[in-house]
Homo-oligomer: A and B are copies of this chain.
């Protein structure tokens, strides 16, 4: 066994090498996807990693260019004012994303992550993966077409002077097939000859091998001269350094796109950090994630990169490769800097079609239709939302899809709270427990109507409270007392308080007493602050059982 005075650092260094193997092609590919020069992706894999390591909270987060953000950047570039330089747009976006995330960290807006529900996020990620694959199809086949949603790609392709270029398509198809087969079978093939752990490790180098072979073939056959689009000469490190232009009109124009990118960056990175954090047992602090991502994006902007986020694939690789602290990210940055210097020449002859194949394999292999099936069974309206967000992402763009998703999630929530389930409850024989008469064999008490309204009393449902009780009273005309079991009532807002008072007064007008049981502590605190004893004449019982037995109420006054 190898002994080292810094075992953590050694593990981090090994992880950094393995992650870099993945990061080099992805950096180039996502810059291509965003419509940027290839060095934008490479530079976005240097300083941002150091910045995140300084402020973030996840030890394994793989910061850098990611596919979804690259897609959003490409759409922002397409909608930018005519004549705006694409890389300038990307740098302004990165700066704005960084500043917005910093503001969010400062104002403690990490709860905004909740705006993207699971169905919305999944529908969006699926739609984005499809859009990304679609946008790379022309590159893969050598067509002079582009676009980041289905109608644009089709329209551009219809107008393209060259619908495909056979030699380019050959590179693309071969790379696609090789990458796909290696991804599916490499580990299994290798494990026949070596231990599983080593096979897994070695398999990670498979994509880099494909790229190396493609570069060798392209260089040997002079592919560039035969019309195959290549990555091209990379500028020497630092030579093409660019900073965001200080053009107020451009900044203002890009602000909405930046806000969306910031939201997606934060939520998607947080999901990665939290799911790996649960696996590792490390605690993720959302506010520190905001700070880390903010710093990373500001660094990307000043460092001639493009907007960055946490990559799920690279974070998992980082974790599996044994990264133990955020130093792994620091080392990755240094490995990347070294790689840029050493690999600049060979990368120049890499066909873009091979990079496109890398992207397509990466995004399609994480496609997951299970949540669609699960949502279909569990919650049809949420399935509809998921499918609509997915379709809108493919057919139109990210902005409208996300807006629909947020508004739709909120609408579903409002609708849920607006139509509460109401149960007439009775005692389960032999216990002190009360349940719905329609579902359980229970005992009722004559002249007492015991109801459980399964929702907080909120403005969305407040208006119905009296109606609901009246409907039940109509079935039990002899009722002299109504007892509401308040265990499902988690909040009573001002509208709910007014409704409770209206119910109390309506019942009092009919000579019926209103009592409450199992009011939760925080709800009761609120009622007391509101001076409810000024109008509430009923009693309050600790448990519903006590209320039904007519035991003396626990808190008769206050």
Contacts and interface: CB of A to CB of B under 8 A. Distances in A.
Interface stretch (A71-79, A141-149, A161-169, A461-469): A461-469
A473 to B, nearest CB: 11
B494 A375 contact: yes
A279 to B, nearest CB: 8
A114 B428 contact: no
Nearest to A116: B459
Given A274-B463, A461-B114, A463-B113, A490 B454 contact: yes
A470 interface: yes
B439 A278 contact: no
Contacts of A506: 278
B493 A421 contact: no
Interface in A223-242: none
Nearest to A526: B378
Contacts of A419: 111
A118 B498 contact: yes
A420 B96 CA distance: 32
A479 interface: no
B114 A423 contact: no
A521 B423 contact: yes
A374 B530 contact: yes
A431 B117 contact: no
A117 B278 contact: no
B493 A431 contact: no
A531 interface: yes
A278 to B, nearest CB: 5
21 contacts: A111-B418, A114-B414, A114-B462, A114-B463, A116-B459, A117-B493, A118-B498, A119-B495, A278-B506, A378-B494, A378-B529, A382-B493, A413-B414, A413-B493, A416-B491, A420-B490, A421-B521, A421-B522, A431-B543, A432-B545, A435-B542
